[in-house]
Amino acid sequence: MTGAKTAVEWLASVAPDPEACRWEWERNPLGVALLPAGSAWDVLILPGELGYATLDVLSRVLDQPGPVLVDFGDARMGFFVPPGTAARWLGTGIRTAGAGTWIVVPYPGRSSPGGVRWLVPPDGSGLLTDPALLELAMHEAAASLATENDD
């Protein structure tokens, strides 16, 4: 199993009823599912401008970052990180989704008619972004944005 099918299995595995999740996902016209964070991944949610700049930095140092979501209008970007990260995160201005929270997740490999979409879709391998590396990339991105805004 490769690509989108493996990614679907990986994502659906965290649902309370993975089979029902897949069934709903495939039939929902919006192509989204509500999945619990905190068991296979947490999500760090950055403001869009910082998120894009951070993804740019990560893309220069990693062959492949973990999955990344962006919401409608590019206002927020969610980076998938290891479970437990949200509980330990101290950064200001960054929202977290961890144990006890749910996130809207689009079906991988299919574009949805609006709303949340994948910028970096999951590959099904379970690859997540290292939070320490993400934090360093965020600092570099924030410094770069501050410099641009000063000009």
Q: Which pLDDT belongs to residue 130?
A: 96
List the 95-97 sheet strands across, edge first.
95-97, 42-47, 76-81, 68-70, 117-120
Per cent of the chain over pLDDT 70 is 93
Q: Which pLDDT belongs to residue 30?
A: 78
Q: Which pLDDT belongs to residue 85?
A: 96
Burial of residue 93 (CB within 10 Å: 0-12, 13-18, 19+) is exposed
Mean predicted confidence (pLDDT) in 90-114: 85
pTM, to two decimals: 0.92
Per-residue pLDDT tens over the stretch 62-82: 888 999 999 988 899 999 999
Tell me the pLDDT of the chain averaged across its residues.
89
Q: Which pLDDT belongs to residue 98?
A: 97
